[in-house]
Amino acid sequence: MCIFCKIVNAEIPNKTILEDENFLAFYDINPARKIHALIIPKEHYDSFDVIPPKIMAGMTEFIQKVASKLEVKKSGYRLITNIGDDGGQEVRHLHFHLMGGEPVGKLVR
């Protein structure tokens, strides 16, 4: 069982931001920015490549609610998901990083 499934099953504590029957948002334990949330589906999906579009539609709405709750919609935020080894995915459970509360910098091209 992956670490995020253990968090969903309350085997590992977290600082919950928002939760509903399908999704969970919590603060990253190693934040890269002033605000750094992780947003996951409660059901295990390895990555964005395998999540059903209907579930992703619900996750999109949930992420927007998290951004509102964290009060970053007006100032802006960065939303990232990593896919596979070359994409830098460390935990094989779909998750989005929502970062904000300060300038997050520009992406290098």
Write out pLDDT tens, residues 45-75: 999 999 999 999 999 999 999 999 999 999 9
Q: How far from 42 is each of 80, 83, 105, CA to CA, in Å?
A: 18, 18, 30
Domains of the chain by range and CATH? 3-85 (3.30.428.10)
pTM for the predicted model, two decimal places: 0.92
Q: Is 95 a catalytic residue?
A: yes
Q: Which is catalytic among the residues 36, 93, 95, 97?
A: 95
What pLDDT does 105 receive?
78
Sheet holding 23-27, edge to edge: 16-19, 23-27, 35-41, 96-100, 77-80
